Chains A and B, each alone.
Chain A
Amino acid sequence: MLSTRDLVAGYDERTVLDGLDLELPADAFTVIVGPNACGKSTLLRTLARLIAPRSGSVLLDGKAIQELPTREVARRLAVLPQSPLVPEGVTVADLVGRGRQPYQRWWRQWSEEDSAAVERAMVLADVAGLADRPVDTLSGGQRQRVWIAMTLAQDTEALLLDEPTTFLDLAHQVEVLDLLHRLRVERGRTVVAVLHDLNQAARYADHLVAMRAGAVVAAGPPREILDADLVREVFGLDCVVVPCPVTGAPLVVPALTSPTLATTTVVPSGAAPSALDATSPTGSTGVTPAGSENALAGSYPSEGH
């Protein structure tokens, strides 16, 4: 539903994206990865019409997004910016209610539909119990769920998120990603997120977009495209890619960079760069026991390809 045509975008004098063509599949969880300053946030912000392209266009269902009324876009596409400013003293329900803005006017500030949508969004993001709390008193993980609830209240088909897990601890990262996964699987939403963690990207994405220096290096299902070559090309890092013991998705483990890091002789130091086939028995220290592995794997619906 979202695509770019010959997109050129950037800030002030600096051109970040230079002639980007990209197709983002509908009803999929797309994750954009890449090194710092590769233009992934710029891409997401341009896709969400937060910055205007210098030339080329972003197409939403075939129409240039810049030419559509911004309210109409906001009913079809919601975006969570990287670190939104938390307004002081605003309650959770109030903030989630702001997501109804595209359906409101100053003479029609609230409707039954608004109430229903806010309620649904708060239940879905598991913040209904916090409705009366001021957002600035919440923990980072709760806050992020509130922001996601706000975007859910927009009732859009697509949801774009710029590094939604940054500044969260591991458990809260998983919580947020699980929520996004559920939105895709249970609600059929199109989700596009910029993530830093390759392994999380591989675990949750249906469609992975790897970027470097403002260009797309590879795009496709992570199980098909994510290998040691790609990681080296994109991040300039040698690594070993093995199947994740829990999900079977590609798991990226940086190669041994210093012999003093290895306490036991796990990987021959010379083997890592050439360990292209993921089936090689590398890095198998302390893997989860088989029983719990199955139990964990069972709790995650398969990616459904």
Chain B
Amino acid sequence: MTAPSRARTVAATTGEPVATPSVAARLPGRSLLRLGPLSLQIRRRSVLVAAVLVVLLAAAAVLSLSLGTPYVAPADVLHALSGAGTPYDLVVLDLRLPRVVLAAVAGAAFGVAGTLIQSVARNPLASPDVIGITQGAGLAATIALTSGAAAVVVAPAALAGGLVAAVVVLALGARHGLAAQRFVLAGVAVAFALRALTEIVMITAEAIDGQRAQIWLVGTLAGKGWAEAAWIGGALLVLLPVLAWAGWALNSSALDDDTARGIGLRPVARRIGLAGAGVLVAAMVTAQVGAVDFVALVAPQVARRLVRSERPPLVCAALLGALLLVLADLAGRRLFAPTQLPAGVLTAAIGGPYLMYLLLRGRKRSS
């Protein structure tokens, strides 16, 4: 038992003359944030990126509140938001704000879920819309929508469907401690099977029910607002302590298991915890807004490239997800007005090319 203290004194007494505290021992590109007993490592570039994203998100939100019929000037939007009581209160605060808030909260949740699951699997493809969680929710929702069940049943059914699919994927991928490849492969297989089942249910259903299910499957924010936002926000709030831990725990997700064990971590338990949190968030948000594709896949990857870190950054991915979904919903509302496109159609249309651009730019730099 004297071993650790002795090791410490050996190090202390031989204290190198070079050991004048210098910048070298600080972590490059990071600052320390001290708040009472807290001391957190903050990546300086993430702070910068996050600040820019917050500004862009605010601008996109104001734009979304402003555009439409009737058009409300941004100054009037801000005036209405300040609670001054304006003639635009009905349009801005009651009709448009709930949907914009929902888009932001849901986008953030997709970003968080994608970051957690992708980091655990060390694979950008391991996003909830690729590995079967979205498809599980989709199948359950389709069954609910086509079987004449009450509308209130759809979201809980989708939540349950997403979670069941996740449990199946995790169980299939769990051998060898959630080895990345296996986990993704299991997820893709489950996703395909569930998608096929969903098709069968839709084809055999009444045409009108099938169409409702189709819209749900693409994911739309139309006709949704505070209630859905509250459910998603509530889930994120409840998971906040877990997410705070996850932000730290993700730092070691890039290490291989032996190295992680060597520095005193339990990588398998850690992955199950992180993946579990990601699955919960993904199932929750999908149950509320439908199968909005691509946000969970693209937001973490774009955020990672903007921050230039080795793994997706949690906060920036959440902000980017929020920005992406607010823009997609705005575009869906306005692009072909008065026809509304579901937000889920446009997330891929906006996010895809941007990721392609980043990939091309990254390849040029690394070659």
Question: Which residues of A come within 8 Å of B, CB atoms?
Answer: 1, 45, 48-50, 61, 70-76, 78-82, 84-85, 87-91, 93-94, 97-99, 101-102, 106-112, 115-120, 122-124, 128, 131-132, 150-151, 154-157, 186-189
The answer to whether B7 touches A116, judged by C-beta atoms less than 8 angstroms apart, is: no
Query: Given A106-B248, A109-B248: A120 and B16 within 8 A (CB)?
Result: yes
Query: Given A93-B26, A115-B21, A188-B10: A88 and B310 within 8 A (CB)?
Result: yes
Which of B1, B10, B14, B252 is the one whose CB lies under 8 Å from A101? B252
The answer to whether B256 touches A108, judged by C-beta atoms less than 8 angstroms apart, is: no
Bound: A78/B262 CA distance, A:
6
- The distance from the CB of B272 to the nearest CB of chain A, in whole angstroms, is 16
What is the count of residue pairs linking A and B with beta-carbon distances less than 8 angstroms?
152
With a cutoff of 8 Å between Cβ atoms, the chain B residues found around residue A131 in the complex are 24-25, 28
Which of A88, A106, A120 is the one whose CB lies under 8 Å from B11? A120
Smallest CB-CB separation from B304: which chain A residue?
A89
The answer to whether B24 touches A49, judged by C-beta atoms less than 8 angstroms apart, is: no
Query: Given A61-B3, A79-B262, A157-B7: A108 and B255 within 8 A (CB)?
Result: no
Query: Given A78-B262, A79-B262, A108-B37: A89 and B11 within 8 A (CB)?
Result: no
Bound: A157/B3 CA distance, A:
7
The answer to whether B254 touches A88, judged by C-beta atoms less than 8 angstroms apart, is: yes
Bound: A202/B155 CA distance, A:
69
The answer to whether A155 touches B11, judged by C-beta atoms less than 8 angstroms apart, is: yes
- Residue contacts A-B, CB under 8 angstroms, 13 given: A74-B263, A76-B3, A82-B258, A88-B310, A91-B29, A93-B26, A94-B27, A102-B264, A106-B244, A106-B247, A116-B21, A123-B18, A157-B6
- The distance from the CB of B300 to the nearest CB of chain A, in whole angstroms, is 15
B309 within 8 A of A: yes
With a cutoff of 8 Å between Cβ atoms, the chain A residues found around residue B7 in the complex are 76, 155-157, 189
Query: Given A101-B263, A106-B245, A154-B263: A122 and B14 within 8 A (CB)?
Result: no
- The distance from the CB of A36 to the nearest CB of chain B, in whole angstroms, is 19
Query: Given A93-B24, A98-B255, A109-B41: A81 and B262 within 8 A (CB)?
Result: yes
The answer to whether B22 touches A119, judged by C-beta atoms less than 8 angstroms apart, is: yes
- The distance from the CB of B244 to the nearest CB of chain A, in whole angstroms, is 7
The answer to whether A75 touches B264, judged by C-beta atoms less than 8 angstroms apart, is: yes
CB-contacts of B8-54 with A (<8 A): 8, 10-11, 14-16, 18-19, 21-22, 24-30, 32, 37-41
Smallest CB-CB separation from B22: which chain A residue?
A119
The answer to whether B248 touches A93, judged by C-beta atoms less than 8 angstroms apart, is: no
- The distance from the CB of A186 to the nearest CB of chain B, in whole angstroms, is 7
Q: Which residue among B38, B249, B254 has the maximum number of chain A CB atoms within 10 Å of its CB?
A: B254
The answer to whether B3 touches A93, judged by C-beta atoms less than 8 angstroms apart, is: no
With a cutoff of 8 Å between Cβ atoms, the chain B residues found around residue A188 in the complex are 10
The answer to whether B254 touches A50, judged by C-beta atoms less than 8 angstroms apart, is: no
Bound: A214/B118 CA distance, A:
39
Bound: A106/B244 CA distance, A:
8
Smallest CB-CB separation from A113: which chain B residue?
B8
Query: Given A76-B7, A106-B245: A45 and B258 within 8 A (CB)?
Result: yes
Bound: A94/B264 CA distance, A:
17
With a cutoff of 8 Å between Cβ atoms, the chain B residues found around residue A101 in the complex are 252, 263-265
B212 within 8 A of A: no
Bound: A100/B266 CA distance, A:
15
Which of A82, A99, A122 is the one whose CB lies under 8 Å from B263? A99
